[in-house]
């Protein structure tokens, strides 16, 4: 499916190359969406058509994405719950990978960042105050966040409710981006993505394919702003054709 898409996408780009660059980009993305939508059919119905309708209840698709993120990227010691130990491991991982030694400013800043992320996540998610976040609490937290955003959007009407992120996650996304951006040049490339994901057990072939999907066949620069947009898709969107669904390197949520 991945390679079929790439074929369609590059044909589309070539076809549009003589037109206005901004318009061409939009059309290429549109073409991309159309190609993907045609590939994802659930129970005989294309799911992409639900775009624009925001439901406070988490769909099965949203739950699958959130559960995947919980188990693969947050629960690092794989005991089925989130607690400080997992964030301590994440902190150690980025410091080791980046060569930030104990006592350096970077080490200290990372330390503080992870303590803040965990405290904020705990405030929002640890409903029974036992110092741990279970998978049920994790899903409930997202459900509550959905409801809050809808209530809020009725008041201020500024940002679409489905594009908001909890504060702790904004910080986590920056950490994640820095984890991927191994060379520190402000963008993530396919090799970096594949390298970091291999540490989380993602097969290199899947990581490469996922990268080509969300980078629109390497035509879109994966900088922090774009990465954040993709993460918002992943955490919030119920659109089965959203590009951000591929940000974890998982290609299919039907298994």
Q: How many residues of this chain bind Ca ion (CB under 5 A)?
A: 9
Tokens at residue 167, please?
Answer: 């504060």
* 79 is a contact residue toward Ca ion (CB under 5 A): yes
Nearer to Ca ion by C-beta: 166 or 244? 166
To Ca ion, the closest distance from the beta carbon of 69 in angstroms equals 13
> Which residues, 135 to 174, sit near Ca ion by CB under 5 A?
137
Q: Candidates 44-52, 76-84, 184-192, 219-227 — which segment interacts with Ca ion by CB under 5 A?
A: 76-84
* 194 is a contact residue toward Ca ion (CB under 5 A): no
Contact criterion met (CB below 8 Å) for 187 and 181: yes
* 86 is a contact residue toward Ca ion (CB under 5 A): yes
* 124 is a contact residue toward Ca ion (CB under 5 A): no
For the residues of 54-112, what is the DSSP string, one character each? --SSPPHHHHHHHHHHIIIII-TT-SSSB-HHHHHHHHHHHHHHHT--TTSHHHHHHHH
Nearer to Ca ion by C-beta: 18 or 128? 128
For the residues of 182-233, what is the DSSP string, one character each? TT-SSB--HHHHHHHHHTTT--HHHHHHHHHHHTTTTTS--BHHHHHHHHHH
To Ca ion, the closest distance from the beta carbon of 120 in angstroms equals 15
* 92 is a contact residue toward Ca ion (CB under 5 A): no
9 vs 110: CA distance, rounded Å: 39
Which residues bind to Ca ion, rule: CB under 5 A? 75, 77, 79, 86, 126, 128, 130, 132, 137
């Amino acid at each position: 499916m991945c390679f079929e898409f790439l074929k369609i996408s590059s044909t589309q780009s070539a076809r549009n190359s003589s037109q206005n660059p901004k318009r061409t980009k939009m059309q290429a993305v549109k073409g991309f969406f159309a190609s993907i939508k045609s590939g994802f059919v659930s129970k005989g119905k294309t799911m992409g058509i639900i775009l624009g309708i925001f439901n406070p209840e988490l769909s099965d698709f949203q739950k699958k994405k959130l559960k995947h993120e919980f188990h693969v990227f947050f629960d690092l010691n794989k005991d089925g719950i989130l607690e400080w130990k997992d964030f301590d491991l994440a902190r150690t991982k980025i410091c080791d990978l980046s060569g930030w030694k104990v006592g350096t400013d970077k080490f200290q800043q990372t330390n503080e960042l992870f303590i803040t992320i965990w405290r904020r996540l705990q405030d929002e998610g640890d409903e029974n105050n036992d110092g741990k976040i279970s998978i049920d609490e994790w899903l409930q937290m997202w459900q509550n966040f959905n409801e809050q955003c809808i209530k809020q959007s009725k008041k201020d009407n500024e940002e679409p409710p489905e594009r908001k992120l909890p504060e702790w996650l904004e910080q986590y996304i920056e950490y994640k981006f820095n984890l991927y951006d191994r060379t520190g040049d402000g963008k993530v490339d396919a090799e970096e993505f594949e390298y970091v994901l291999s540490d989380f057990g993602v097969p290199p072939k899947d990581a490469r394919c996922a990268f080509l999907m969300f980078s629109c066949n390497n035509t879109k620069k994966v900088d922090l702003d774009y990465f954040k947009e993709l993460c918002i898709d992943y955490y919030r969107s119920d659109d089965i054709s959203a590009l951000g669904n591929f940000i974890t390197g998982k290609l299919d949520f039907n298994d």
